[in-house]
């Protein structure tokens, strides 16, 4: 019984801490690793990337985002390492940190490969303090270039700062 009570109190404290972080006019900065050797598509043997995001909560629970990134796609001569820029939004479903996001990314590599990738993601913001989070997420990138070869499902983990 004591263990269940302790877990309940801990969950309530986390919810109360997260509640204040998703208010309008807060800023957000995130650095993340994507792929983590878990990403898969029809062409790549390894998919590993880094991303940086900056966001602004325009209303409670709704954030607009800008992002840049670099991706390494080893084992694939068709798509060399590439850079990415994008924009999107994130909506916090419940006040304890569960979110859904959507974005559009432009990928560019070696002047011979360009692609537009709409992305959907679902993640969770685990608060380590009032402003710092660990954010694991599952994402899906839909390619316009060749749907079966370049569309990707993957996992990313980031560290976020709510200012």
Query: What's the count of helices (H) and strands (E) in the chain, helices before strands?
Result: 2, 9
Q: pTM higher than 0.85 for the full model?
A: no
User: What are the pLDDT digits (tens) for 89-120?
Assistant: 999 987 778 999 999 999 887 777 788 889 99
Beta-carbon neighbour count of residue 163 at 10 Å? 8
Instruction: Say if residues 163 and 131 touch (Cβ distance below 8 Å).
Output: yes
143: DSSP letter: P
Please state, in angstroms and rounded to a whole number, the distance separating the CA atoms of residues 9 and 19: 15
- Please provide the average confidence, as pLDDT, over all residues in the chain: 79
Burial, 19: exposed, middle or buried (Cβ in 10 Å; 0-12, 13-18, 19+)?
A: middle
Please state, in angstroms and rounded to a whole number, the distance separating the CA atoms of residues 28 and 133: 11
pLDDT over threshold 80, residue 54: yes
User: What is the pLDDT, as a whole number, of residue 94?
Assistant: 74
- What residues form DSSP beta bridges with 43? none
User: What are the pLDDT digits (tens) for 12-40?
Assistant: 444 444 445 788 888 999 988 876 655 55
Instruction: Say if residues 88 and 101 touch (Cβ distance below 8 Å).
Output: yes
């Amino acid at each position: 019984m004591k263990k269940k009570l302790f877990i309940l109190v801990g969950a309530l404290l986390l919810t109360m801490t997260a509640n204040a972080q998703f208010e309008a006019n807060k800023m957000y900065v995130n650095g993340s690793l994507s792929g983590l050797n878990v990403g898969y598509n029809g062409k790549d043997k390894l998919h590993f990337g880094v991303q940086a995001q900056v966001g602004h909560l325009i209303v409670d629970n709704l954030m607009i985002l800008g992002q840049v990134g670099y991706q390494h796609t080893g084992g694939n001569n068709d798509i060399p390492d590439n850079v990415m820029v994008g924009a999107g939004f994130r909506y916090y479903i419940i006040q304890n940190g569960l979110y859904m996001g959507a974005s559009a990314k432009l990928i560019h590599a070696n002047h011979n490969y360009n692609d537009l990738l709409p992305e959907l993601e679902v993640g969770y913001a685990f608060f380590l303090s009032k402003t710092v989070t660990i954010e694991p997420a599952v994402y899906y990138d839909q390619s316009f270039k060749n749907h079966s070869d370049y569309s990707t499902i993957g996992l990313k983990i980031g560290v976020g700062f709510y200012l």
